[in-house]
Structure 1
């Protein structure tokens, strides 16, 4: 009898192991359909609360007919305002605990949760429905690894010296012409000099994955570790880029609405990798 129980238990564990293995071989493929085309995305297992919440909203059709209601070129497109669409009172708009992960950053194509600012939301909790897709821009490494706010403050003091009149005039001309990339390059060219002059460290610590991503595909590094990244667009970034170019009215809202329909479907990870070029991290 004991032997029979052991055999049965072993068989049950084998079946359970097989079920878990089969489940892990599939993932949810997200499709965001717009009038500009479709974007395809995956959601991260490292952010289980956000992943489950997004899947629930999408599979129940609640995201359908919401809009990308806020677009900023070289930054992001934001949408998915289910609560406003459904007329839910603001006091009932639920939030999600933040799920920050140093490996999940705001590189181009990342999907992250919108939220209220720190003054109203000190725990940096996420909106229960709104999300954004990152466009951002590509950075040169010196800019990426420099505290640009401190650099600006030091530079403003530095150019007040009588010996730096020409430098001050060059800065003023670039500022007047709104040539901000050239202005940043000018300040960065004096970084070492100012560090020595003021005895300052103007550097900023960046992780290897941040430097690698932001100097190649680009993104929005200043949002890292303060907004939860929970997914990534793996095909259709041209759709996002087309949306960022739309004419905008007040509050960065497109003059012509961009409605969305969101679908989620369990698909074999192997097929996702083959069809969309996404490489899953080794488990």
Structure 2
């Protein structure tokens, strides 16, 4: 109960101040980052197979988050997803022993939240980070879906090896290290990023497409490690 009370108080602070960390992203720190300032320059809308978006039917609050995600996870047990980009596809296996993170990701995918967001941070030799954009529609989706944090699931014991699929988090007033529901990152480093273990929740791994991750990691970036060309993504559920 103390854990969830701490998370709830953290959410209240974040809601009153800002739903996003407005500081610039720094290498070796995975924060839920600032909105992107560049306009869309390339489009992947010609992908034929996509997860059909459904209307967001619920604004989640922290108090009801765990019961909701638990029930949703029991009724929606998919765990393989595909991230589609103009550079190719990245297939990810979500872990069943991080049930809240898996359920949240499947929930947002079925709502179509991720479609139209970007890989908005590229740090070659470290990670690529996605799930945000400067599109007004992304902000609208977040506002409709709610401002909440996912409790960390470190007890599963997954590490930040190469190909790890992990959750970004807000850095301020977040002593419980709860996760942002909207942003994720993939470890690109050959050595892994083990300084992030037990600081961010790893809830999946890339099972196909690390060559695509490496290609994205090589893209030129500007301030804050933002790609000079926006890398749009769409996500579909495989099984």
> TM (normalized to structure 1)?
0.53
Match of 1:72 in 2: 123
Instruction: Choose 1 or 2 for highest CA Rg.
Output: 1
- 1:133 equivalenced with 2:186 (yes/no): yes
Query: For 1:89-104, what aligned pairs fall within 5 Å after superposition?
Result: 92-101=146-155, 103-104=157-158
C-alpha distance in 2, partners of 1:81/1:101? 27
Following superposition of structure 1 onto structure 2, how do residues 166-185 of structure 1 map, counting pairs within 5 Å?
none
CA distance in 2 between partners of 1:103 and 1:96 (Å): 17
Match of 1:256 among 229, 232, 236: 229
- Residue 113 of structure 2: aligned partner: 62
Say whether 1:46 aligns with 2:100: no
Cα distance in 1 for residues equivalent to 2:183 and 2:96: 19
Counterpart selection for 1:111 from 158, 165, 177:
165
How far 1:120 sits from its partner (Å)? Answer: 2.3
In 2, are the aligned partners of 1:107 and 1:134 still within 8 Å (CA)?
yes
By how many angstroms is 1:245 displaced? Answer: 0.6
Distance in structure 2 (CA, Å) of the matches to 1:232 and 1:27: 15
Q: What is the CA–CA distance in structure 1 between the aligned matches of 2:188 and 2:120, rounded to whole Å?
A: 15
**Which deviations, in whole Å up to 9, do the C-alpha atoms of 1:175-215 show, x marking residues without a partner?**
xxxxxxxxxxxxxxxxxxxxxxxxxxxxxxxxxxxxxxxxx
Structure 1 distance, partners of 2:157, 2:179, is 18
> Shift of residue 27 of structure 1?
4.7
Where has structure 1 moved over 4 Å in runs of 4 or more?
Answer: none
Q: Secondary structure at the match of 1:126?
A: coil
Distance in 2 of aligned mates of 1:103 and 1:94: 23
Displacement, 1:102?
Answer: 5.5
1:102–1:225 Cα contact (<8 Å) kept: no
Number of corresponding residues: 161
- Residues of 2 paired with 1:75 and 1:93: CA distance? 28
Residue of structure 2 in register with 1:148 after alignment: none
Tell me the residue number matched to 1:226. 199
Give, in whole Å, the separation in 2 of the partners of 1:250 and 1:37. Answer: 25
TM-score normalized by structure 2?
0.63
In the alignment, is the contact (CA less than 8 A) between 2:82 and 2:235 conserved in 1? yes
| Alignment partners' CA distance in 2, 1:28 and 1:229 | 14
Counterpart contact for 1:100–1:225, Cα < 8 Å: yes
Q: Which runs of 5+ in 2 are unaligned?
A: 1-73
Matched-pair contact (CA < 8 Å) for 2:83–2:91: yes
